[in-house]
Amino acid sequence: MWVFGYGSLIFRPSFPFVERRDAWLPGLARRLWQASPDHRGVPEAPGRVATLVPDPGARTWGTAYRIADHDVEEVVLALDHREKNGYERRPVVLETPRGPVDATVYFAGPSNPSYRGPESDDQVADVVRIAAGPSGSNLDYVAELAAAIGEAGERDPHVENVLALATRRR
- What string of DSSP letters covers 19-48? EEEEEEEEEEEEEEEEEESSSSSBTTB-EE
Domain hosting residue 161, numbered range:
2-168
pLDDT category, 104, cuts 50, 70, 90? very high
Residue 132 has pLDDT above 90, yes or no: yes
Count of domains forming the chain: 1
Instruction: Please check whether residue 33 is in contact with residue 115, taking contact to mean a CB–CB distance below 8 angstroms.
Output: yes
- pLDDT exceeding 70 applies to what percent of the chain? 99
pLDDT category, 113, cuts 50, 70, 90? very high
**What's the CA gap between 100 and 90, in Å, rounded?**
16
| Mean pLDDT to the nearest integer, 19-42 | 97
Quick check: is 83 catalytic? Answer: yes
- Give CA separation, 144 vs 2, 90, 138, in Å: 23, 25, 10
Give the tens place of pLDDT for each residue, 50-103: 999 999 999 999 999 999 999 999 999 999 999 988 999 999 999 999 999 999
β pairing state of 101-107 and 2-5: parallel
Among 75, 100, 70, which residue's Cα sits nearest to residue 89?
75
Catalytic residue, from 74, 83, 154, 160: name it: 83
pLDDT category, 127, cuts 50, 70, 90? very high
pLDDT of residue 169: 66
CA torsion sign, 116 to 117 to 119 to 124? positive
pLDDT of residue 170: 61
CATH code, domain carrying 150: 3.10.490.10
